[in-house]
Structure 1
Amino acid sequence: MTKAAIIILAGTEGHENLGRLANGLEAAKEFAENDEDDLELIFDGAGTQWIPELEDEDSDYHELYQTVKEDTAVCDYCSGAFGVEDAVADSGLVTLDEHDGHPSIRSLVDDDYEIITF
């Protein structure tokens, strides 16, 4: 069994960040498709800004996001810092605040997750 934590840090500005989002979602989908793998997909930092767009059914990446949404969580602190806390709440996604309002990366490492950032 593979345990992967994919963390999307890329913001919504610029073509390169769109590429990082797309690659992160595709990587997450690959893990999600394997029943033996354990996936955690976390939107952190500026990456939290993607949630309102991904929740929009007209988004080019909405369907891909839907394939991994059940494995998705969002940094509680960063969703507020980047002004998307309402969209995150409306999405029904879990927010993580284990370490000073942020996800605990140490806990993931301690649980033997491979950390992959985009």
Structure 2
Amino acid sequence: MTKTAVVILAGTGSHADRGRLVNRLETAKEFAQTDGDEVELIFDGAGTQWIPKLEDERNDYHELYRTVREDTSVCEFCSGAFGVADAVADAGVVTLDDHDGHPSVRSLVDDDYEVITF
């Protein structure tokens, strides 16, 4: 059994960012589909901009995102800073504000999660 937190920091501005997103969604999916594993998928920083795009059923990666949607959360502060707070709220995605409005990486480490960032 493993506990992994996959943190997506890559924004939506480039082909490379899209590649980072897809690779991390695939990573989260692999953990989510493995019996006994736990995964947390966290969109943080510029990565929060992906939520409204991934929630759109016409998006190329919508179905992949749906495979890990129940394990997904978003930085509350960064969703506001990057202008997607309303879209995140409309989507009903859990927001995290454990440490000064941001997710607490320390808490994840304390809970024995391996933290992977991209």
Q: Mind listing any 5+ residue stretches in structure 2 that lack a counterpart?
A: none
Per the TM alignment, residue 15 of structure 1 is displaced from its structure 2 partner at its CA by: 0.6
Q: How does 1:76-115 map to 2 (within 5 A)?
A: 76-115=76-115
| 1:21-79 Cα shifts (integer Å, max 9, x gaps) | 00000000000001200100000000000000000000000000000000000000000
**Which residue is equivalent to 1:68?**
68
4+ residue runs over 4 A deviation: none
Q: State the partner residue of 2:56.
A: 56
Instruction: Report the TM-score when normalising by structure 1.
Output: 0.99
The aligned counterpart of 1:21 is 21
Letter in 1 for 2:42: I
Q: Cα RMSD (Å) of the superposition?
A: 0.4
Amino acid in structure 2 at the alignment position of 1:6: V
Equivalent position of 1:9 in the other structure: 9
Amino acid at match of 2:8: I
Letter in 2 for 1:37: D
List runs of 5+ in structure 1 lacking aligned partners. none
Query: 1:42 corresponds to which residue?
Result: 42
Identity %: 75
Give the number of equivalent residue pairs. 118
Letter in 1 for 2:116: I
TM-score (norm 2): 0.99
Q: Distance in 1 between matches of 2:91 and 2:3?
A: 25
